[in-house]
Chains A and B, each alone.
Chain A
Amino acid sequence: MALSGGVDSSVTAAILKAEGYDVVGMTLKLYDCQDGQNERSCCGLAGVSEARAAAGVLQIPHYVVDGESLFESRVLKHAWEEYSNGRTPNPCVACNEWMKFGLLFDQARKLGADFVATGHHARVVAGDRPKLLRGHDPNKDQSYFLFSLSPAQLGMALLPVGDLTKAKVRELAHEYGLPNADRLESQDACIAQRGDFAEALRERFDGKLEGGPIVNAKGTVIGRHEGIHRFTVGQRKGLGIALGKRAYVLAIDKATNTVVIDTDADKLLAYGLEAGDMRWLRHLEEGESLAVQAQIRYRHQAVPATLTKGDEDNATAYFAEAQAAVTPGQAAVFYLGDEVVAGGWIKTALPSQD
């Protein structure tokens, strides 16, 4: 199982061991030994030793798997390409697909394992077509990040913590005598804060993004930016210009290297979105529609929408009520109740009709 050093994965190991599984802990090393100084980083050195300590308490074997180059190519490089094209990526989804349920999956199969367990707050229902459900604790639900897993990957997944609240998890951690019961969470900590992240990626990949104009919704040039990668749709802070009133990033245009910023919050609203690279956990015919709840960001309360399957891997979704800051590059995940029925990547927002 994937041991990050955080409390969720450690408790997962403890629960499964208590249930009689033969548990083997594996921690992904994602950074060069010298880079892994970040205390909170889930796969920096501190995380690895915490995972090792938890494995020691549980008396299970522990291995460290080197995922550095795959992480760089599939997660970091991809994220940089998104930023440099004016989109806002969600690297956690790629990390789950390629690293935790990809690389670790292969390692697990090499050891003859039947399942791969993680500390994700989500639920899987086994079957010919396995189902992915929200975790029991709505504040901690991570199903959003797992939408891209294949049936094969879901078929091998065990997510025991998904049935529990975070409070219960910490309680169990104390009960099992785990050393990281009160540790900060690993999630989201593997990379720097949003604003710094894009810049850190630019440095890492030697990206060259030139400055360009900032325009308002009418197209008037009102300022200058230092690179489109520093902005995300809906952003209010760090815009680099003062307009007297609260202002927002409405759009980022790679072709003209322009960032559109305006004070009219209504301009952020969209009544739908186009998504690509769709994964379908429920079968729909091309052109068929389904009433769903759409979640367009991790921290977004899912809203009613109609999802229609397009051609190839595309889909469109129309919200019952216009939503703010539909951001190209973000994942759009569609639910029926607690069940994930589909998910994909936002290509464009479909703007308000007035």
Chain B
Amino acid sequence: MDAPRIYMDHNATTAMDSRVLDAMMPYFQGEFGNPSSVHWHGQQARRAVDLARKEVGGIINAGIGEIVLTSGGTEANNLALQGTLKPGDHLISSAIEHPAILATCKHLEKQGVDITLVPVDAMGRVTPQVVADAIERRTKLISIMLANNDIGTIQPVADIAAIAAQHGVMVHTDAVQAVGKIPVDVKNLGVDLLSFSAHKLYGPKGVGAVYIRQGVELTSLIHGGQQEFRRRAGTENVAGAVGFGRACQLSEFHLQDADDLAELRDRLWRGLQERIDGIALNGHPEERLPNTLGLSIDGVDGPAVVMNLDLQGIAVSAGSACTSGSIKPSHVLLAMGHTLERATSTVRISLGRGNTTEEVDQLVEALALAIPRLRRVSAKPMVS
């Protein structure tokens, strides 16, 4: 592959901003200290983590005492749920959550926590009233993601939090896909817990955070030290935290780009509609992330489209990934009431910094050429 590759899978991960990398570099060798150490090296490292915590909290309008740094969004989600629920409690979540939440729910169910997964409408949106109806005496927590990774649909979390407050129920939101793309303010949302992750906003992989509102009690998952206000033991990933902080800072600045990104996405959608028939948009047409385009394309399977585009140097995704790299249909599409066929013919294009109109046009071209061939082959397979 000699021509430069085009990356349009920013919901999977993003390249680290070079300013983030620059900010991190001193903390590998120069300022390598353990923040818990008393000496000069420890002090330097401690300062750096303190500042990072402030920056990380800043992007969601949280205080420094309300941020617990973790190894990523998945750990943050695990901590938020497992740290607040015990056997006999009731949890309400949704059918379209990320596996980090859904799998944690399954685990909690085995431990004796009651789980209700509320359905979504055909546009992938949770209806606040449906959540309200599911609340019972033992309900301890409601966890609804802020924005969905596959279809970009933004959930009415603030409305749900308002309802929850009336019943004395806590609210957590998985904001991993939202933070960095849309303004997120924990005070406006009214949530008690929130998860997010550095590598979705041009920061390093391996570091994330959970926001824990002042006053919320939480038991830690990882024991063995006093770090993170005794909520998450383990020597801090200093460089990672610094990178996370810097990425959050830069992200706030870049939120202005959201409109440009939305325009680019809309250009892509228009272009595709002009050149290809039998495509449908998945998710809510307005309440969605500015960068995400989840589509279903009649007569093809998502993985084949992804491979075809990859061979032409364009990176997108279909459904969700698993360890060995093979792809299964998106549970999100199925939860929206779509057929298995539609759920396996999905492609997700998620734009980000650096994508240009030329790249968008190239993608349209590439798909316009590939889809007819894919449809021909799919119509007459060797096996079924």
A130 CB to closest chain B CB (Å) equals 15
B227 at the interface (CB under 8 A from A): no
A109 touches B377 (CB 8 A): yes
B21 within 8 A of A: no
Query: B-facing mask of A43-69, CB < 8 A → 1, else 0?
Result: 001001000100000000101111000
Establish whether residues A111 and B381, one from each chain, have CB atoms under 8 Å apart when the complex forms.
no
The answer to whether residues A106 and B325 also contact, given A111-B307, A111-B311 and a CB cut-off of 8 A, is no
Residue on B nearest A47 in the bound complex, by CB = B324
Chain A residues, Cβ within 8 Å of B381: 106
- Given known A61-B311, A109-B377, A111-B304, contact A98–B383 (CB-CB < 8 A): yes
Let me know if A36 and B324 touch, CB within 8 A: yes
Residue numbers in B under 8 Å from A98 (CB-CB) = 383
B116 sits at the interface (CB 8 A): no
Contact check, B382 vs A102: say whether CB atoms are below 8 A apart: yes
Cβ contact within 8 Å between A64 and B383:
no
CB distance from A150 to the nearest CB of B (A): 9
A70-B383, A112-B373, A153-B382 are known contacts. Are A107 and B324 too (CB-CB below 8 A)? no
> Is the CB of A24 closer than 8 A to any CB of chain B?
yes
Chain A residues lying within 8 Å of B373, measured Cβ to Cβ, are 110, 112
A103-B383 contact in complex given A45-B324, A109-B377, A110-B378, C-beta closer than 8 Å: yes
Query: Is B327 part of the binding interface, using a Cβ–Cβ cutoff of 8 Å?
Result: yes
A237 to chain B, nearest CB (A): 36
- B304-332 at interface with A (beta carbon < 8 Å): 304, 307-308, 310-311, 322-328
Q: How close is A161's CB to chain B, nearest CB, in angstroms?
A: 23
Contact between A64 and B308, CB atoms less than 8 A apart: no
- CA A106 – CA B379 in complex, angstroms? 11
Tell me if B325 and A48 are in contact (CB < 8 A): yes
Tell me if B308 and A110 are in contact (CB < 8 A): yes
- Picked from A65, A66, A101, A111, the residue with its CB within 8 Å of the CB of B308 is A111
Q: How many residues of chain A have a CB within 8 Å of chain B? A: 27
Residues 150-174 of B, flagged 1 when their CB comes within 8 A of A and 0 if not, give 0000000000000000000000000
Q: Mark A124-159, 1 if CB is under 8 A from B, else 0.
A: 000000000000000000000000000011000000
Instruction: Determine the distance from Cα of A110 to Cα of B372 in the docked complex, in whole angstroms.
Output: 10
Q: Does A33 contact B (CB under 8 A)?
A: yes
Q: Assuming the A-B contacts A61-B310, A112-B373, are A106 and B326 also in contact, with contact meaning beta carbons closer than 8 angstroms in the complex?
A: no
Q: How far is the CA of A188 from the CA of B19 in the complex (A)?
A: 52
Per the CB 8 Å criterion, the residue count for chain B at the interface is 21
The answer, yes or no, to whether B374 is at the interface (CB within 8 Å) is yes
Are A29 and B324 closer than 8 Å at their CB atoms?
A: yes
Q: Is A345 an interface residue (CB 8 A)?
A: no
CB atoms of B377 and A106 under 8 A apart: yes
A74 to B383, CA, bound (A): 10
Inter-chain contacts of B325 with A (CB < 8 A): 48, 52, 63-64
Hey, which chain A residues are within 8 Å of B307, CB to CB? 61, 63, 107, 110-111
Contact across chains for B324 and A48 when beta carbons are under 8 A apart: yes
Is there a chain B Cβ closer than 8 Å to A105's Cβ? yes
Task: Give the complex CA separation of A106 and B380 in angstroms.
Answer: 9
On chain A, the residues within 8 Å of B324 by CB distance are 29, 33, 36, 45, 48, 64
Partner of A110, one of B327, B328, B377, B383: B377
Check A107/B304 contact, CB under 8 A, given A66-B328, A98-B383, A102-B382.
yes
**A45 contacts which of B304, B323, B374, B377 (Cβ < 8 Å)?**
B323
Specify which chain B residues have a CB less than 8 angstroms from the CB of A24 in the assembled complex: 311
What residues of chain B lie closer than 8 Å to A48, measured between beta carbons? 324-325
**B residues in contact with A65, CB < 8 Å:** 303, 326
A49 to B382, CA, bound (A): 27
Q: Which of B303, B322, B325, B382 has the most CB of A within 10 A?
A: B382
In Å, the complex CA distance between A112 and B323 comes to 27
Whether A105 lies near B323 (C-beta < 8 A) is no
Task: Say how far A1's CB is from chain B's closest CB, in angstroms.
Answer: 14
CB neighbours (8 Å) of B374 from chain A are 110
| Assembly CA distance A111 to B300 (angstroms) | 12
Distance A329 CA – B325 CA, assembled complex (angstroms): 35
Question: Is the CB–CB distance between A64 and B311 below 8 Å?
Answer: no
Bound CA–CA A45/B325 (angstroms): 10
* Residues from chain B with Cβ under 8 Å of A33 in the complex: 322-324
Other-chain residue from A61, A63, A64, A106 in contact with B382 (beta carbon distance below 8 A): A106
Closest partner residue, chain A, to B376 (CB atom): A109
Chain A residue numbers with a CB within 8 Å of B327 are 66
C-alpha spacing A103/B377, complex, angstroms: 12
For chain B, residues 258 to 275, give those with C-beta under 8 angstroms from any C-beta of chain A.
none
Q: Is the CB of B382 within 8 A of A105?
A: yes
Q: CA–CA, A70 to B383, complex, Å?
A: 9
B377: which A residues are within 8 A, CB to CB? 106, 109-110
Q: Which residue of A lies closest to B383 (CB)?
A: A102
A106 and B311 alpha carbons, distance in the complex (Å) = 17
Of residues A29, A70, A109, A110, which shows the largest number of chain B Cβ atoms within 10 Å of its Cβ? Answer: A110
In whole angstroms, how far apart are the Cα atoms of A291 and B171 in the complex? Answer: 79
**Residues 326-369 of chain B, each 1 if its beta carbon lies under 8 Å from chain A, else 0:** 11100000000000000000000000000000000000000000
Closest beta carbon of chain A to B314's beta carbon, Å: 13
A218-267 interface with B by 8 A CB criterion:
none
Tell me which residues across on chain A come within 8 A of B304, comparing CB atoms: 107, 110-111
Among B301, B311, B374: residue with most chain A CB under 10 A:
B311
Can you show 12 pairs from A to B with CB atoms below 8 A apart? A61-B310, A63-B303, A64-B325, A64-B326, A102-B383, A106-B383, A107-B304, A109-B377, A110-B301, A111-B304, A111-B307, A111-B308
**Footprint of A on B, CB under 8 Å?**
301, 303-304, 307-308, 310-311, 322-328, 373-374, 377-378, 381-383
Q: Report the 10 A-B pairs with minimum CB-CB distance, sorted nearest first.
A: A102-B383, A66-B326, A64-B325, A110-B304, A64-B326, A109-B377, A29-B326, A106-B381, A105-B382, A110-B377
| With A63-B303, A110-B308 already in contact, 5 other A-B pairs whose C-beta atoms are closer than 8 Å | A65-B303, A103-B383, A109-B377, A110-B377, A152-B382
